[in-house]
Chain A
C-alpha cells in the first residue's frame, strides 16, 4: 500500500513539474466553459420563449443544462485521457528509469496501480476544476445536486477505465507518441461503438452497444446509478490493469 502511494506521489509530481497537467486543465476548462455557455444560452433562449412559457411548466436545469454538458464532457474525456497516460510507462522505458522501479523491492502491480492512481487523481482534479462552472447554476438557479454528483461519479468511473487501458498501451511501447495515438484510437473505437447501437437491434448489435464506453455513461448523466454500468466500468478497469501486469511480465521474459 505504501509502495503504491510512493509511486503515485512521484507520478503526480511529474505531472505538475511539466506543463502537461496545467495544459490539460486549461484545455478542459476552456472546452467545458464553451459547452456550458452554449447550453446555458440555449436554456435561457428556450425558457424565455413565449411558446414554451405558455405550457406553464418551468424547464428543468438538470435536464437542459447539466445533462447535455456532461454528455459532451464524457466525449472530451476521450481526447484528454491519452495525453494523461501516454508517458506513464513509455517514458520510463525510454530513459531507462524503469530499471530502477523494476529492481526495487516493489511488486509490478504496485507500480502499475500507483501510476494508474496518479492518472485518475489528475483526471479527477481536472474534472473538479470544471465544477466551478456549475457553481454558477447554484447561484442563479436551484438545480438538484444529486444528479450532478452522480454524473461526476460516472465521468470518474469512465475515466478510470479508459486510463487503465491507456496505462496498458503505454506499457507496450517506448514511444510516447505511439502510446498516445494507440490509446486515442482505442478510446475512439469504444466511443464509436455506441453509434452501432443506434441502428442495429440484433443480439450482435446489443453486445457491441454493451461494449461502448459512452453508452454506459448515459444513465449517469441522468443521475441514475445502474449496477450494470458500474460493473462494466469496474471490470474494464480491472481488465486494463491486469493486461498491464501481464505485459510487464511478458516483456521481462522476452527482452
Chain B
C-alpha cells in the first residue's frame, strides 16, 4: 500500500530524512517510532504530498507522490501533529468542509459526517465551536475529518501528543478499531504506545532507518537486556563514586554502569545487563558484601534512546532495512 525507496529530504541546511526505505502492506497498522527530530513528520509530509522528496521515491496505493499527487491525496487521510482545525467553525461544519474538499459526494455527505462523528465520539459536541473544545476533543475532530472520505491509507502524526493518559488510551483504542478498514501509519516517540497498537514498527533516528520489524520480533530482540536503577549509601561517611562504579562493573552479566546523580550522601547508578541476564540479585549481594547500605533497587526499563543505542550498536539493522 505504501512503498518508500531511498527517500531523502534535505532542508536548506540539514538532512531531515536520509535514504530510508520501507513498505507497508494493505490493512497493516504500523508504528513510526523515533525521538524528536528524527524525521517522522518530514517523512509523513512527503507521503501526503505536502513536501516533495529531495531524492528517492514514495508511492501510495500504487501512485507516485510526485507524478500523481491528486490520486495520492484522494486516498490519504492525514492528521498532522496539531489538528488542522478552524476554531471559528462548528464541529459539523468543519467535518463537512473537509468532506467537500476531499470530494465526498453531496448526497452522502450528511450521512458520512454523522457516521464519522459517532465513530470518533464527537457526536455530543457537534454544534459546538471547535475553538471551545479541549485538546482531546480537537484531536478526535481531526481524526473524524481524516476518515471522512474513507481513505485507503491513514497517516497520523503523533496522535497522542499533548493528551492526558486517559485520552491517550481512548485515542489509541479508536485508532485500533479503525485498523480493520484502513492501512495506518502512526508516529510516536513513545514505545509502549507502539507495543499496544501496532503490528509492525519502523524505527528511525536522526533521519536514518534503524529497524523495521514486526512487533513480536522486536520484543524478543529487546527482551533480556534490562536496565536497573541502584541507589547506595555509605554506612559511615560518603562513598567514593569511582570505586562504587568499578565494583558494579565487575559483577558478571553487567554490560554498562552509568552514574546518574548524588542525593545527599546517596549515589544513583543505572546498570544495564547483557542480553538474557538477570543481574538484580548479584547487585544486591555485591552491595551487601561491600558493607554499603542498599537504599533502592528496581528495574527502570529501557528508554527509547537506549533502545536505539542497543539496536544500532549491537548489530546491523534487520528486516526490510536494506
Binding site for B on A (CB under 8 A): 2-3, 6, 10, 13-14, 17-18, 95-107, 252-255
Can you list 23 A-B pairs, Cβ within 8 angstroms, ordered by A?
A6-B101, A13-B88, A13-B93, A14-B86, A14-B88, A17-B88, A96-B80, A96-B84, A97-B85, A97-B86, A99-B45, A99-B50, A100-B80, A100-B98, A102-B49, A102-B50, A103-B73, A103-B78, A104-B101, A105-B70, A105-B103, A252-B52, A254-B12
Interface status of B310 (Cβ within 8 A of chain A)? no
Q: How far is the CB of B275 from chain A (nearest CB, A)?
A: 42
Q: How far is the CB of A239 from chain B (nearest CB, A)?
A: 25
Contact residues in B for A105 (Cβ distance below 8 Å)? 70, 73-74, 101-103
Interface status of B100 (Cβ within 8 A of chain A)? yes
> A18 to B129, alpha carbons, bound, how many Å?
13
Residues of chain B at interface, number, CB under 8 A: 29
Interface pair B51/A255, CB less than 8 Å apart: yes
> A100 to B88, alpha carbons, bound, how many Å?
16
> A97 to B78, alpha carbons, bound, how many Å?
12
Q: Find residues 10-69 in chain B having any chain A CB closer than 8 Å to their own CB.
A: 11-12, 45, 48-52
Contact residues in B for A252 (Cβ distance below 8 Å)? 50-52
Q: Which residue of B lies closest to A6 (CB)?
A: B100
Q: Which residue of A lies closest to B81 (CB)?
A: A96
Interface status of B238 (Cβ within 8 A of chain A)? no
Contact residues in A for B50 (Cβ distance below 8 Å)? 99, 102-103, 252
Q: How far is the CB of B236 from chain A (nearest CB, A)?
A: 60
Contact residues in B for A97 (Cβ distance below 8 Å)? 84-86
Contact residues in B for A104 (Cβ distance below 8 Å)? 73, 98, 101-102
> A254 to B74, alpha carbons, bound, how many Å?
24
Interchain CB contact (< 8 A) of B84 among A18, A100, A253: A100
Interface pair A103/B97, CB less than 8 Å apart: no
Q: How far is the CB of A103 from chain B (nearest CB, A)?
A: 4
Q: Output the residue of B73, B81, B101 with the most chain A CB within 10 A.
A: B101
Contact residues in A for B78 (Cβ distance below 8 Å)? 99-100, 103
Contact residues in A for B101 (Cβ distance below 8 Å)? 3, 6, 100-101, 104-106
Q: Which residue of A lies closest to B157 (CB)?
A: A99
Q: Which residue of A lies closest to B74 (CB)?
A: A105
Q: How far is the CB of A16 from chain B (nearest CB, A)?
A: 10
> A103 to B49, alpha carbons, bound, how many Å?
6
Q: How far is the CB of A246 from chain B (nearest CB, A)?
A: 15
Q: How far is the CB of A112 from chain B (nearest CB, A)?
A: 15
Contact residues in B for A2 (Cβ distance below 8 Å)? 100
Contact residues in A for B88 (Cβ distance below 8 Å)? 13-14, 17-18
Contact residues in B for A6 (Cβ distance below 8 Å)? 97, 100-101
Interchain CB contact (< 8 A) of A103 among B11, B76, B81: B76
Q: Which residue of B lies closest to A15 (CB)?
A: B88
Contact residues in A for B51 (Cβ distance below 8 Å)? 252, 255
Contact residues in A for B45 (Cβ distance below 8 Å)? 99
> A104 to B149, alpha carbons, bound, how many Å?
11
Interface status of B219 (Cβ within 8 A of chain A)? no
Interface status of B191 (Cβ within 8 A of chain A)? no
Contact bitstring B76-92, A, C-beta under 8 A = 1, else 0: 10101110111011000
Q: Find residues 141-159 in chain B having any chain A CB closer than 8 Å to their own CB.
A: 145
Q: Output the residue of B49, B51, B86, B89 with the most chain A CB within 10 A.
A: B86
